[in-house]
Amino acid sequence: MLLVEEGIIDATQLDEVLAEVEETGKALSRVLIEMEILTEDDLLAILADQAGYEFVDLLEYGIDPVAASLVPDNIARRYSLIPIGFDEERLIVAMSDPQNVIARDDVARVTKRELEVVVATQAAVMDALDKMARMETDVEALTGEIAAGDDDSDALEGLTEVVEDAPIVKLANTLIAQAVQDRASDIHIEPQAKDLRIRYRIDGVLHEHMRSPKSVQNSLVSRLKIMSDMDIAERRIPQDGRISMSISGREIDLRAACVPTVWGEKFVMRILDKQAGIVPLEQLGLLEDNAKKLANAYNKPYGAILATGPTGSGKTTTLYSILNVINDDAKNVMTVEDPVEFRLSGLSQIQVNTRAGLTFASALRSLVRCDPDIMMVGEIRDKETATIAIESALTGHLVLSTLHTNDAPSAATRLFEMGVEAFLVGSALDCVLAQRLARRLCEKCKEPYQPTEEALVECGWPLDEEEELPVIYKPAGCKSCSNTGYRGRVALHEIMILSEEIERMVVEHRTSEEMKKIAVMEGMKTLRLDGLAKVRLGITAIDEIMRVVV
């Protein structure tokens, strides 16, 4: 029997199951579920595999709402199916009964697309249809209701009452909830000439989520400004704020920014999932040599470690992963952050509050007097913060912080530009970690291929004359990755350890290009080479490395 051959049940269990079937007359599948040998999902997955179909868990799958809308709700419910992804020619449909030819013909006729069928339980399909129906009601119906109202875009009288109205409250909450569900890191509410565009940044790339009537614009932005504790009457200058809310039991923080544009106020929110947890250091994607270099740096009792890169490159995540390793009861670990993105047990974390006069510099001055062993400064933004951090690293503290530079060697010159003395930088700085985030290839659809020698030369691949051209992978696109070819991200690293030679160059105010040349000679792997090493491992693609690394 298949279940025995696959090792799902043993011979003794099979005898018990068959005896129960004979005694009760129940179907074999029902007995397997009732005896808790298999769940309904397990059973359907086995049957789907035998029939040549893929089984999907719709709770874990990112259903494309545009795809779901291609089939009328009454047809989807009649046949217990839901479209979950699509392209110009193909529609991916999850069905509880993939053998229903009538259902397949009806859907193909309505959508005018070829079908790719996967299998899901009937309960999961109906739950997904209910969720999509609620989303459609919560967004389209809400925008229609708001647009139908008398919304004078220039009138502020009674604006508080408008933005507290139920439809606009639901719309704002729904847009945030959908972004969290879609694994978005940022939400962009963007006024256009004739409508309002809403985009989500997923795996580092912006995707259009929907467009709403222009008349929704001011009510929605004003509602978000109230949620962010901004001044809704002020539309001429940029404002910053924060939102805290609970979504499906998860505590979510959002860092908000509002700026005036020619078409109205643009509102952007960065999503900070407080329950996402700290990423273990070994899961950051550090190659073995880089992992050893970083460990040598953070295991020292004092010195400065800087993580550099653009906004959203995972610098803070990396620092938290380091803190999670070195934090113990024998050390006093303190942080100054804006905002506090993760709560970590055993740390004393200080939230910057510029309105109250608590800046990075003032908080850091107080922190130094609290007998810290390890200090983490969320970001070095000015000379005062930089000077205190560097001097602390020279007086027996391990200091971790972030900077905005393009590569590791540029960190020293950036500190010079802030006004920190070169001899202090050279003496205090131990390690600089430059970082970028590249999209991971989808494990379910990535395709192997052999690139041309010209393509490898163009991207800077280290070619060996005696080595054959490598077989690497490229994105394809499937239902699991919403046809993007990518799912998730991996960090690329460039770690510069300040040797005696590089320290001397720092003190002499040498250029970052000169320092980079020596660092590479001493074994530093550049961001590009680290990325290409991950291409060789099948983690990401050449095009992605070329996109994120200059």
- pLDDT score recorded for residue 204: 87
CB 189 within 8 A of CB 224: yes
Strand-by-strand arrangement of the 90-95 sheet: 81-86, 90-95, 114-119
Indicate if the pLDDT at residue 164 is higher than 80: no
- pLDDT score recorded for residue 433: 98
- pLDDT score recorded for residue 93: 92
Identity of the residue numbered 125: V
What is the per-residue pLDDT across 501-516, written as a single tens digit (0 to 9) for each?
999 999 999 999 999 9
Indicate if the pLDDT at residue 173 is higher than 90: no
Give Cα 289 to chain centroid, integer Å: 26
Token look-up 């030819």 returns 101
Q: How many other C-beta atoms lie within 10 A of the C-beta of residue 322?
A: 23
Q: Outline which parts of the chain fall under CATH 3.40.50.300.
A: 281-439+490-532
CATH fold for the domain made of 149-273: Beta-Lactamase (3.30.450)
Q: Outline which parts of the chain fall under CATH 3.30.450.90.
A: 149-273
Q: Outline which parts of the chain fall under CATH 3.30.300.160.
A: 2-124
Crossing angle, helix 410-418 and helix 383-394, to 10 degrees? 120
Name which of 491, 486, 489, 462 is nearest 473 in CA terms: 486
For domain 2-124, the CATH architecture is 2-Layer Sandwich (3.30)
- pLDDT score recorded for residue 156: 44
Name which of 290, 282, 293, 545 is nearest 437 in CA terms: 545
Q: Characterise 485 by phi-psi region: left (phi > 0), alpha (psi -120 to 50), beta (else).
A: left
Selecting from 3.40.50.300, 3.40.190.10, 2.60.40.180, 3.40.50.2000, what CATH number does the domain 281-439+490-532 have?
3.40.50.300
Question: Average pLDDT in the 199-214 region?
Answer: 87
Buried b (16+ CB within 10 A) or exposed e, 419-458: ebebebbbbbbbbbbbbbbbbbbbeebbeeeebeeeebee
What is the per-residue pLDDT across 4-53, written as a single tens digit (0 to 9) for each?
666 666 677 767 767 876 777 766 666 676 776 767 677 777 777 777 88
* Sequence-ordered list of residues with C-beta below 8 angstroms from that of 467, at least 6 positions apart, any chain: none
Q: Which two tokens stand for residue 50?
A: 């035998």
pLDDT above 90 as % of the chain: 49
Q: Report the mean per-residue pLDDT for the chain.
A: 86
- pLDDT score recorded for residue 141: 55
Integer Cα distance of 550 and 546 in angstroms:
7
Q: How many other C-beta atoms lie within 10 A of the C-beta of residue 239?
A: 19
Among 174-188, 367-381, 406-420, the minimum mean pLDDT is found in 174-188
Question: Average pLDDT in the 110-127 region?
Answer: 88
- pLDDT score recorded for residue 149: 57
Apex 245 CA angle, 233 and 218, nearest 5 = 30
Confidence of residue 152 (pLDDT cuts 50, 70, 90): very low
CB 438 within 8 A of CB 312: no
Among 87-91, 337-341, 403-407, the minimum mean pLDDT is found in 87-91
Burial of residue 465 (CB within 10 Å: 0-12, 13-18, 19+) is exposed
Backbone angles phi, psi at 91, to 5 degrees: -125, 125
Alpha helices, H only, 137-182: 142-148, 159-163, 166-181
Give Cα 288 to chain centroid, integer Å: 24
Burial of residue 538 (CB within 10 Å: 0-12, 13-18, 19+) is middle
Name which of 336, 458, 449 is nearest 402 in CA terms: 336
Integer Cα distance of 342 and 323 in angstroms:
11
Question: CA dist 102 to 105, 383, 497, Å?
Answer: 5, 71, 66
Token look-up 């590479």 returns 520
- pLDDT score recorded for residue 153: 42
Question: CA dist 44 to 2, 47, 66, 97, 508, Å?
Answer: 14, 5, 27, 10, 69
Name which of 505, 491, 496 is nearest 523 in CA terms: 496
Indicate if the pLDDT at residue 431 is higher than 90: yes
Confidence of residue 521 (pLDDT cuts 50, 70, 90): very high
What is the per-residue pLDDT across 59-72, written as a single tens digit (0 to 9) for each?
767 677 667 878 88
- pLDDT score recorded for residue 530: 96
CA 363, 369, 371, 373 torsion: positive or negative?
positive
Question: Average pLDDT in the 365-371 region?
Answer: 91
Bridge partner list, 90: 114
- pLDDT score recorded for residue 13: 72
- pLDDT score recorded for residue 151: 47
Integer Cα distance of 51 and 354 in angstroms:
62
CB 226 within 8 A of CB 232: yes
- pLDDT score recorded for residue 268: 98
Confidence of residue 1 (pLDDT cuts 50, 70, 90): low
Q: Which two tokens stand for residue 362?
A: 């003032």
Name which of 137, 176, 201, 109 is nearest 439 in CA terms: 201
CA 36, 38, 40, 41: dihedral to nearest 10 degrees? 140
Among 203-207, 317-321, 372-376, 475-479, the minimum mean pLDDT is found in 475-479
For 442-485, list the strands marked E by DSSP: 447-449, 472-474
Question: CA dist 237 to 234, 257, 355, 403, 543, Å?
Answer: 7, 11, 17, 27, 39
Give the SS3 label for residue 478. Answer: coil
- pLDDT score recorded for residue 165: 54
